[in-house]
Amino acid sequence: MAHVPRLYVPGAASGGDAPLPEGTEHHLLRVLRLRPGTRVFVFDGAGREYAGRLEQPGRELRVRVGDLERAEPPAALAVTLVVALSRRTRMEWTLEKAVELGAAAIRPVFSERARIRLDASRAARKLAHWRSLVIAAAAQSGRARLPVLREPVALDEALQDTEAATRLLLDPGADAGLGDMAAPDRELALLAGPESGFSESERSAAEGAGWRPVRLGPRVLRAETAGPAALAAVQALWGDMR
């Protein structure tokens, strides 16, 4: 069966003729070497996926949105991954895998030991790049509902305003494992630290804000591995991998 490309088109609707998001046309024509008339799938990021076809009535490549193919329901378990910023490729890898593993939201945070600082201009560029990675990972993995990618904030802010009732701090030294946890009620937040771990003051702040330390197993995982591994585990225990 031939592979059918998947395109993210915000606000797509059946019967519409939609322009492609900025930068998409070059990728389709020059990288993928697609041509007008090619069959595609179009997803709107809010859970709807349509049949589609590339058209080029003039100079601009567009997509004709056809019938609704499927409506992706909200996740059985909405998982927010709060993750300490890491160096470029490691952070990108974490984001991609979090999308593939079904994270509903991803929130990068600044931590003491990571020592990564971004001014406003650089943070905006990073966020735009990360969003493009999230879209690409959603297209590759068959998601029609995009996870929310939030702006990087200080750890203290994320600790206090994460709304999930069940909040777990990934800690290889914790007494309790995931198997000791009661099943969460539809929402869960995971907090993953930087390569050298959270500082004692950060750990104390997390526990004081209601985040419960939990270990994943007998091994210490790398920073870029811990978040995705925890996502896979909770999806297998309580989410859409059951």
The answer on pLDDT for 98 being more than 80 is yes
Domain end, chosen from 71, 87, 112, is at 71
137 pLDDT more than 50: yes
Q: Is the dihedral of CA 233, 94, 196, 128 positive or negative?
A: negative
**CA distances, 120 to each of 76, 83, 105 (Å):** 35, 19, 22
CATH code (residue 132) = 3.40.1280.10
Helix (H) or strand (E) holding 212: strand 212-214
pTM given for the model: 0.92
User: Domain range for residue 61?
Assistant: 6-71
Averaged confidence pLDDT in the chain: 91
Query: Mean of the pLDDT values across residues 45-60?
Result: 89
Answer left, alpha or beta for residue 195, where phi above 0 means left and psi between -120 and 50 means alpha.
alpha
Contact yes or no for 68/50 (Cβ under 8 A): yes
Predicted pLDDT of residue 1: 44
Last residue of a domain, one of 21, 51, 71: 71
DSSP 3-state assignment of 123? helix
- Please state the rounded mean pLDDT for residues 67-89: 93
Q: Is residue 1 part of a domain?
A: no
Token representation of residue 133: 């990675």
Task: Check pLDDT > 60 for residue 2.
Answer: no
Q: Is residue 100 part of a domain?
A: yes
pLDDT of residue 37: 84
C-alpha distances in Å from residue 149, one per residue of 103, 105, 165, 182: 10, 6, 20, 27
Report d(CA 213, CA 109) in Å as an integer.
Answer: 18
User: For residue 83, what are the contacts with CB-CB under 8 A and spacing of at least 6?
Assistant: 94, 98, 106, 107, 108, 109, 191, 192, 227
Instruction: Provide mean pLDDT across the span 120-132.
Output: 88
Contact 65, 15 (CB under 8 A): yes
Q: Helix, strand, coil shares of the chain as percentages rounded to 5?
A: 30, 25, 40
pLDDT > 70 in the chain, percent: 99
C-beta separation of 38 from 4 below 8 A: no
First-last CA distance in the chain: 28
Residue 46 resides in a domain: yes
Q: Is the pLDDT of residue 5 over 90?
A: no
Given pLDDT bands bounded at 50, 70 and 90, which one contains residue 35?
confident
For residue range 213-222, list pLDDT tens digits in order.
999 999 999 9
Please tell me which residue, 64 or 118, carries the higher pLDDT value: 64
- Residue range 173-203, pLDDT digits in tens: 999 999 899 999 899 999 999 988 999 999 9
Are residues 167 and 227 part of one domain? yes
User: Is residue 37, in this structure, part of any structural domain at all?
Assistant: yes
Banded model confidence at residue 115, pLDDT cuts 50, 70, 90: confident
User: What band does 23 get if pLDDT is binned at 50, 70 and 90?
Assistant: confident
CATH of the domain at 42: 2.40.240.20
- The domain total for the chain is 2
Tell whether the model's pLDDT for residue 170 goes beyond 90. Answer: yes
Mean pLDDT of 201-218: 96
Domain final position from 71, 96, 113: 71
